[in-house]
Structure 1
Amino acid sequence: MKLLAFAASSSSKSINKQLAIYAASLVEGAEVEILDINDYEMPIFSQDREELLGQPELAQQFFAKLGEADGIIISFAEHNGSYTAAYKNLFDWTSRIDMKVFQNKPMVLLATSPGPGGAASVLAAASGSAPYFAADVKGSLSIPSFFDNFDMEQQTLRNPELKASLIAALAGLK
């Protein structure tokens, strides 16, 4: 199984990237590729820019990566209750190639934050809209208070209930 995992964050210190990497490591036998959305940075999307630029090569490459995967894990960072600007821009450009951005791939959607909300607002938005973009969402999970629930040294969830919930969500990818 080719598994693609990434954080919907451009932060070099992203806790969502740590969560995506950790989650991917729990999928036994998977060949994992970790993407960094910073590698797909493009001008801010607008119809005017699309008319001028067409479909940027980076958006095409990102779309191809999604298509090559057998499963996808995304962990969403939350900025002011919504997607990060970096992810939203990448998504907007990619959706212009094909509205079926996720190409019917099985997916697990995650989110975390340092606070007790666990980026639940952006996770709800992502989970609610994903089917419109051909995502086969097998599970979703918000991890609240990341630094209380994740052992940074061992790179593992220390909360047994959250770990069990994550494993259950990931089981849908097999």
Structure 2
Amino acid sequence: MRRLLILPLVAFALVACEREDREYRSEPVVDETEEKIALVPLSPGPGSPIEQRSGVGKEYEENAFHISQGQRLYTWFNCNGCHSNGGGGSGPALMDDRWIYGGQIENIVQTIREGRPNGMPSFRGKIPDDQIWEIAAYIRSMGRNVPKAAAPSRKDDMSPGPAEQRRPPGEVIQGGQASPSEEMPQ
């Protein structure tokens, strides 16, 4: 009798479970989203430029898996060579709030896909569309423009010292005593 009660509960629990849907293989390069992005607020006529954003970017920006894949692809495609881990080098910095061609994810995708004059090559037809979106989502995460729950953790290999969990415990400062940073001359 007890088994008869447990069996429907187990079946119900299995049916109620919902798993995250992940695509492990990229779509062919010929597939890409249609975005109409204005790079400047100027347009002929009385109105502002017409933009059509597909809304695909939100799906990538809020998914930790896509952002971590973008982090991996950023390294694989040697974006570090010009952008130096996001801090800028021969290419512009990606961590700040200054964006020449717009800092929204659709603008970043357009920049990667089409390239920009004087340096940024076009990757249209060389990188599948979903991978371009993942790289763009990771770039947005560099400037802390994605939800905190989806943002990737920092890379400890860039830190000059060992990770926090590998460091010896620090001294406990009792209340009323000055911390070492407060004792330093200003």
Relative to the length of structure 1, the TM-score reads 0.28
Q: Return the structure number with greater strand share.
A: 1
Relative to the length of structure 2, the TM-score reads 0.27
